[in-house]
Amino acid sequence: MEQTLYEKVGGEEAVAKVVDYFYSELVLKDDTVSHFFEHTDMEKQRRHQTKFISFALGGPNQYSGKSMAKAHEGMNLQPAHFDAIAKHLHDALAHFGVSEADIDKALSKVASLREDIIYK
């Protein structure tokens, strides 16, 4: 049986490291998207994102947060914001040695949420 992307990257502990790097080294240093997180409890955000990305990569569904549409309601995210976040996720996964083929699989799952996130 083929491993899930979640198993390939090393499970929740590895995903948590990717998420931490994603926010601290990429998202929060990017002026085009960092302002969306000015009033966000980043520890809570990291926990939610770790559970969400774990599930998106084929891991257990421990995500109990709002729907994507509800979570992004009123933010008026534009395609450029979505694309910046997707690029940062790509770069965070690559930083931890995830193959381009596996990154593409992960990003295609993220892309499927695009319509629930932008223009809300």
Give the Cα separation of 11 and 77 in Å (integer).
30
Task: Enter the tokens of residue 101.
Answer: 């083929």
3-state secondary structure of 42: helix
Q: Within the chain, how many helices (H) and strands (E) appear?
A: 7, 0
Report whether 48 belongs to an annotated binding site. yes
Say which DSSP state 23 is in.
Answer: I
> Under a CB-based contact definition with an 8 Å cutoff, are residues 5 and 58 in contact?
yes
Q: Is 72 annotated as a binding residue?
A: yes
Counted residue by residue, the chain has a size of 120
Question: Which residue ranges are tagged as binding site?
Answer: 48, 72
Positions at the binding site for heme: 48, 72
